[in-house]
Structure 1
Amino acid sequence: MINDQGPARRGSGRAEFPAPRDSRDRRKAVVLSSGGRGAQSRAPASAPQCVNRVPYTGPFTLVPLPGRQSSLVCVETAEGAQRLLTMSTSELELELERRAHSILGWFKLASKAQSFPLAGLTATRLTADRLALVGETAHVFPPIGAQGLNLSLRDISDLGNVLSKALARNQDIGSSAVLAGYETRRRSDIRSRTNAVDALNRSLLTGFLPVQLARGAGMYFAGKVGPLRRLLMREGMAPGAGFELFR
C-alpha cells in the first residue's frame, strides 16, 4: 500500500475502501520446510516436485530450496490439517514422506508446521485520495499457480511507470486523474489472473473425472513439450510474454 500524503492533502483523513471480494473454502494449507536425509539425494533443483497423493484435498507441492531442503505446501481439509498439526515430529515426517512417495528420501522437518485458510481477496478499488494499493493490499492469492508475487511485481512496475510519466508532465502524482491510470492498467491483469488461479484451484479439487483427465493431460504436456512449458512460464511472468517467442 502506497500512501502519498502530499501538500495538497489536509488533515488526517483516511481513505476507505469497500469490503473486498472474498473467495474462501474450508480447506487449509499446511506449510513447512523439510530436508531429505536418506540414501536418495533430493531431486535436481531445476523444477518443483509436485505430488498429489490424497484425492480431492488439493496439491502436495515440494519446491526446491538450496542444499537438500524443500519448501512444502500441502492443501488439506480443515480436519485433515488439524490432524497433521497434532502429529508428533516423527509421525509428521513419516506421513509427509509417504505422501511424497519417498522421492526425496527420508524426511526431516526443518521448520515448524503452520496452517492458514485458503482464501482469495481482491479489493474492489485500487486507488483513493492520494493512495494506491499494490501487492497483497490489492489482491491475495492461495499458494496455487505461483502468481501472487508476479502480480505484485507488475503492480509496482505499472505504478512506477504511471508516476514517472506524471512527474515528467509536472502533474500531481497523487491526483485522482493520475491514479486512475494505474487502476485502469492493473484491473484487467488482476481480474484475469484471479480467474485463472480460481479455475486451476477448482480443477485440483474437483472429483469430476473429465476435468481430472483434462488437467492431467495438460500437466503432462506442459512437462514434456518444451515450447509449451516455456510459453506457460513466460505467461506466468507477464501477460503476452509467452507469445513473443513466436514473433
Structure 2
Amino acid sequence: MAELQDLQKELYPADDETYKINGVKLAFSDAGDSGSIIIDEHINIVGLLWGGDLDLHSDYDVTFAIPIVKVLDALSNSGLETTLESTPAVRSKLQELQSPKEVGIDKDIKRRLQESTHGTLVMSLFETHQKEIIHLINHNRKVKIAWQRLQGPSFVAHMMNSLNDPTYIIPRKVKDISRQDLIIKTAAVIREEGSELLQKDIEKHLIDLLQYTYELDSIEGLLKKVQENAPA
C-alpha cells in the first residue's frame, strides 16, 4: 500500500469547476476516463488517470493518477523506451476544433442568408460575435472547460460534416450531451464572462437558437428555415 501511495496523486476539482457527476458531485473526471493523460496549465503532460473516488457521500469526486515520469520509468525498466509527442495538428481535426479559429462565411451561404431579413440578422450576429466567442473558448478557463465537457468540438465536427454533405444528420446527442445542453450551459457561462453586447444578444436570441436545435437536423435545413424569413 505504501508503494501505491508513493505512485499515486490525488486530484481535486477547482473551486470554479463546472463539471458535475449526476448533477451533484464536483468532479475532475468521470467513468470511462481511465487511461487519459492529464496536462497542466502549460499543456505539459503530468499524469496518467487510472481511477476515481467511490465515496458516494462526499461533495466532490477525487481523481487518482500516476505521475507520468513513473509511467515512463516503468516502461523503460521493462525494456520499452517511450517518448511523449503531441499529435500534429494536420492529423487531428478535433484538435483544431478544440482551439477554433475565426472563419469566413462561404459566399454561397452568405448569398442565401442575404435573401431574407432574418438571414441578414443571423449573418450580422455571426460576424459581430465570432471573434469574442472564439477568444473566450480558447483563453477563458471557465468557458474552455464548459466547451470541452459539453462536447462542443464534437458537435462542431458534426456541423462541418453537415455543411459539406447536405444529407448528413447532426446527432441530437453526443456522449449523453444533447444539443440543448450544449447551447444552454455554454450560453450561461459565456453570459457570465462575455461583453455586455454579447450578453444582451444571447438573452435576446437564445430561444430562437434552441428552437432550431429541436426542429432541425442539418445545416441545409437551417439555411432553408432562415431563408423562409422566420421571425427573429
Give the TM-score taking structure 1 as reference length: 0.23
Considering fraction of residues, name the structure with more helix.
Answer: 2
